[in-house]
Structure 1
Amino acid sequence: MIEKINLNNILFLDIETVPETADFNSLDPEMQNLYEQKTQYQRKEEISAEEFYERAGIWAEFGKIVCISVGFFANKSDIRNFRVTSFFGEEKNILKDFSNLLNNHFNGPQHLLCGHNAKEFDIPFIARRMIINGIAIPDKLNLFGKKPWEIAHLDTLELWKFGDYKHFTSLKLMCKVLGIPSPKGDIDGSQVGHVFYVEKDIDRIVTYCEKDTIAVAQIFLRLRREDLLIEEEIIHV
């Protein structure tokens, strides 16, 4: 029962990704060909791989992480607060800093990671990019040899499915139906690449990522039938 989980033991997270290069022509010819093969069933016939390249950020082989935002409760008795922080900059440094956080502060048997669709996207993406960047995968991300009940991952999308594996509900829709203020600001996921490469506005992306992280925590509270966080309880560090 999720009501029995100590909120202080959960690390909530969200990531933002972009294509690994600014445009399709910046890829070497072999990668261009591989991307064309990878996306042939996702693209309509009239859309070229180059035109489809703005979607490259959804695949770890062709994308990269530009921000990881995390949040955690630091509750004491009846005083509740939720601390949010972000890692951004060079991808390798982002991944190293996130790994250090897991290894040093969220590595106990009681600790859990939680995101929305994190089991399908965020966590595998992070692990794959760590391998690509030559970074050791922290135990909390490494699933090899673990039994299902030993995997310390929570997923608000999975919790909402109640066993219905055909169903997908976006973070925005869940917030709407659960009465949570929408986390979305002036951009959405499809615009992150443009904001990163053209506008070069990483602060805007960080704000967007942190709002999603807070939204995941709010959804988790609603699933436990607890009061939502108010602005005064959220601390950006």
Structure 2
Amino acid sequence: MLNHLSDYQLLYLDIETVSAYPSYFDMPERIRLLWDKKAKTLNYKGDQKPMDLFNRSGIYAEFGKIVCISVGYVVKSSHRLRIKSYYSDDESKLLYEFGELLNQHFNSPKHLMVAHNGKEFDFPYIARRMLVNGLELPSLLDIAGKKPWEIRHIDTLELWKFGDYKHFTSLDLLTAIFDIPSPKADINGSQVNEVYWKENDLKRIAEYCQNDVLAIVQLLNRYRGQNLFLEENIEFVALEEIE
């Protein structure tokens, strides 16, 4: 399965997002009123107020922001997996640095981006936030007018669906059933917003994000019938916040 991918250079990625504001009451009035309208569509049971649903605002590019993008790529000359992160309180700088990575090193037809649920979440979220920050889209993210087979995105969730559009399977579950060791992490996705706004611990978030990238790499290896990367062949680039 997917043996043709050996002809490409893959960039694996995962993003961490948080609410754009520390709390519901910190939102500017215009944004808050629009969130109230959005929250009505999320209030399935009808028993929650917009402020009660505020912790979900970070998953929407219109009400959230990106605080970390972790990427992984295989150095073909040594067959080592290298994982690094871009993280910052300044989303514009973070996205600019990530865009420079794509523009300078992942800008040819032989380059593909890989994420879990990437087509529904990571890829469009990054593109939307780049536009909000006034940044030009790199070619890998600029999909307007392209035919489906021209879009160089791979989604490990989509591959697992096999055409079943109703089926969602978490990365955690897939790594479990494929017997992929669970990377050590002291937080989960539901805690990222609190860790950011209450603890201001970006490094902790970046470490968690890197673990997800490693899981995506190992999962795609399983899909392709390949061996997992051993610990000695994985290099985590030292975390350095973008100032």
Give the structure-2-normalised TM-score. 0.94
The answer for the alignment partner of 1:168 in structure 2 is: 168
1:7 positional shift: 7.1
Structure 1 residue 37 corresponds to structure 2 residue 54: no
How many correspondences in the alignment? Answer: 235
Deviation above 6 Å: which 4+ runs of structure 1?
Answer: none
1:75 positional shift: 2.3
1:125 positional shift: 0.3
Change (3 A) 1:55 1:68: same
- Structure 2 counterparts to residues 22-33 of structure 1, below 5 A: 22-33=22-33
RMSD (CA atoms): 1.2
The answer for the alignment partner of 1:137 in structure 2 is: 137
> Which string of whole-angstrom CA distances, capped at 9 and with x for unpartnered residues, describes residues 155-202 of structure 1?
000111111111110000000011111236221111101000101111
Q: Secondary structure at the match of 1:221?
A: helix
The answer for the alignment partner of 2:212 in structure 1 is: 212
Q: Secondary structure at the match of 2:86?
A: strand
Tell me, in whole angstroms, the C-alpha distance in 1 between the residues paired with 2:104 and 2:39.
Answer: 39
> Which string of whole-angstrom CA distances, capped at 9 and with x for unpartnered residues, describes residues 99-128 of structure 1?
000000000111000000000000000000
Contact 2:75 2:82 in 1 (8 A): yes
Change (3 A) 1:41 1:183: farther
Q: Secondary structure at the match of 1:112?
A: strand
The answer for the alignment partner of 1:52 in structure 2 is: 53
Tell me, in whole angstroms, the C-alpha distance in 2 between the residues paired with 1:141 and 1:80.
Answer: 26
Tell me, in whole angstroms, the C-alpha distance in 2 between the residues paired with 1:116 and 1:123.
Answer: 10
Contact 1:75 1:81 in 2 (8 A): yes
Q: Secondary structure at the match of 1:69?
A: strand
The answer for the alignment partner of 2:116 in structure 1 is: 116
The answer for the alignment partner of 1:14 in structure 2 is: 14
Change (3 A) 1:29 1:139: same
Contact 1:115 1:216 in 2 (8 A): yes
The answer for the alignment partner of 1:72 in structure 2 is: 73
Amino acid in structure 1 at the alignment position of 2:42: Q
Sequence identity (%): 47
Amino acid in structure 2 at the alignment position of 1:9: Q
> Which string of whole-angstrom CA distances, capped at 9 and with x for unpartnered residues, describes residues 197-224 of structure 1?
1011111100000000010000000001
Structure 1 residue 81 corresponds to structure 2 residue 80: yes
1:96 positional shift: 0.3
The answer for the alignment partner of 1:63 in structure 2 is: 64
Give the structure-1-normalised TM-score. 0.96
